[in-house]
Chain A
Amino acid sequence: METNERNGSSPAGQGASEGAKVRVENLDFWYGANHVLKDVSLDIRANEVTAFIGPSGCGKSTLLRCLNRMNELIPDTRLEGRVLIDGRDIYRNADPVMVRRRIGMVFQKPNPFPKTIFENVIWGARVNGYKGDEADLVETCLRKAALWEEVKDRLHAQAYGLSGGQQQRLCIARTLAVAPDVVLMDEPASALDPIATAKLEETILQLKERYTIIIVTHNMQQAGRISDRTAFFYMGELIEADATEQLFTRPSRKRTEDYITGRFG
Chain B
Amino acid sequence: MTSSQQYEERLERRRRKGLVFSVLLFLATTSGLVVLVTLIVDVVVQGGQWLDWDFLTRFPSRIPENAGIKSAIVGSLWMILLTAAISVPIGVASALYLEEYAPRGWLLKIIQININNLAGIPSVVYGILGLTLFVRFFALGRSLLAGALTMALLILPIIVISSQEALRAIPEGIRESAFALGATRRQVVWSHLLPMSAPSIMTGVILALSRAIGETAPLIMIGALTFIAFLPTSALDPFTVLPIQIFNWTARPQADFQGLAAAGIIILMVVLFLMNLSAILLRNYFEKYRAR
Nearest CB in chain B: distance from A101 CB, A:
3
CA distance A70 to B103 in the complex (A): 16
In the complex, per-residue mask of A151-170: 1 if CB is within 8 Å of any chain B CB, else 0 = 00000001010000000000
Cβ-neighbour of A109 out of B173, B180, B183, B196 (below 8 A): B173
With A70-B176, A76-B104, A107-B176: A113-B182 Cβ-Cβ less than 8 Å:
no
CA distance A123 to B173 in the complex (A): 16
Q: What are the residues of chain A within 8 A of B288 when measuring CB–CB?
A: 114, 158
Q: Does A105 contact B (CB under 8 A)?
A: yes
How many residues of B are counted as interface, with CB atoms below 8 angstroms from the partner's CB atoms? 24
CA distance A27 to B181 in the complex (A): 24
Cβ-neighbour of B176 out of A75, A111, A178 (below 8 A): A111
Task: Tell me the number of A-to-B contacts counted with CB atoms below 8 Å.
Answer: 73
Q: Does A195 contact B (CB under 8 A)?
A: no
Q: Does B184 contact A (CB under 8 A)?
A: yes
Q: Does B58 contact A (CB under 8 A)?
A: no
Whether the pair B290, A178 counts as a contact (CB closer than 8 A) is: no
Cβ-neighbour of B182 out of A75, A76, A109, A127 (below 8 A): A127
With A111-B176, A127-B187: A100-B182 Cβ-Cβ less than 8 Å:
yes
Q: Does A45 contact B (CB under 8 A)?
A: no
Whether the pair B179, A113 counts as a contact (CB closer than 8 A) is: no
How many residues of A are counted as interface, with CB atoms below 8 angstroms from the partner's CB atoms? 28
Whether the pair A98, B291 counts as a contact (CB closer than 8 A) is: no
CA distance A177 to B184 in the complex (A): 16
CA distance A105 to B181 in the complex (A): 8
With A76-B104, A127-B191: A111-B171 Cβ-Cβ less than 8 Å:
yes
In the complex, per-residue mask of A168-203: 1 if CB is within 8 Å of any chain B CB, else 0 = 000100110110000000000000000000000000
Cβ-neighbour of B290 out of A73, A98, A114, A171 (below 8 A): A114
- Please, which residue of chain B has its CB at the minimum distance from the CB of A115? B289
Whether the pair A171, B177 counts as a contact (CB closer than 8 A) is: yes
Cβ-neighbour of A111 out of B103, B173, B290 (below 8 A): B173
With A75-B104, A127-B184: A113-B178 Cβ-Cβ less than 8 Å:
yes
Q: Does A256 contact B (CB under 8 A)?
A: no
List residues of B (44-93) whose CB comes within 8 Å of A's CBs.
none
Whether the pair B176, A123 counts as a contact (CB closer than 8 A) is: no
Q: Does B169 contact A (CB under 8 A)?
A: no
Q: What are the residues of chain B within 8 A of A107 when measuring CB–CB?
A: 173, 176-177, 180
Whether the pair B104, A160 counts as a contact (CB closer than 8 A) is: no
Whether the pair A98, B177 counts as a contact (CB closer than 8 A) is: no
Q: Does B174 contact A (CB under 8 A)?
A: yes
Whether the pair B181, A111 counts as a contact (CB closer than 8 A) is: no
With A75-B103, A111-B174, A114-B196: A127-B292 Cβ-Cβ less than 8 Å:
no
Q: What are the residues of chain B within 8 A of A100 when measuring CB–CB?
A: 179-182
Whether the pair A114, B181 counts as a contact (CB closer than 8 A) is: no
Cβ-neighbour of A178 out of B103, B173, B182 (below 8 A): B182
Whether the pair A128, B182 counts as a contact (CB closer than 8 A) is: yes
CA distance A158 to B290 in the complex (A): 12
Whether the pair B291, A124 counts as a contact (CB closer than 8 A) is: no
Q: Does B175 contact A (CB under 8 A)?
A: yes
Q: Which residues of B contact A (CB under 8 A)?
A: 103-104, 171, 173-184, 187, 191-192, 196, 288-292
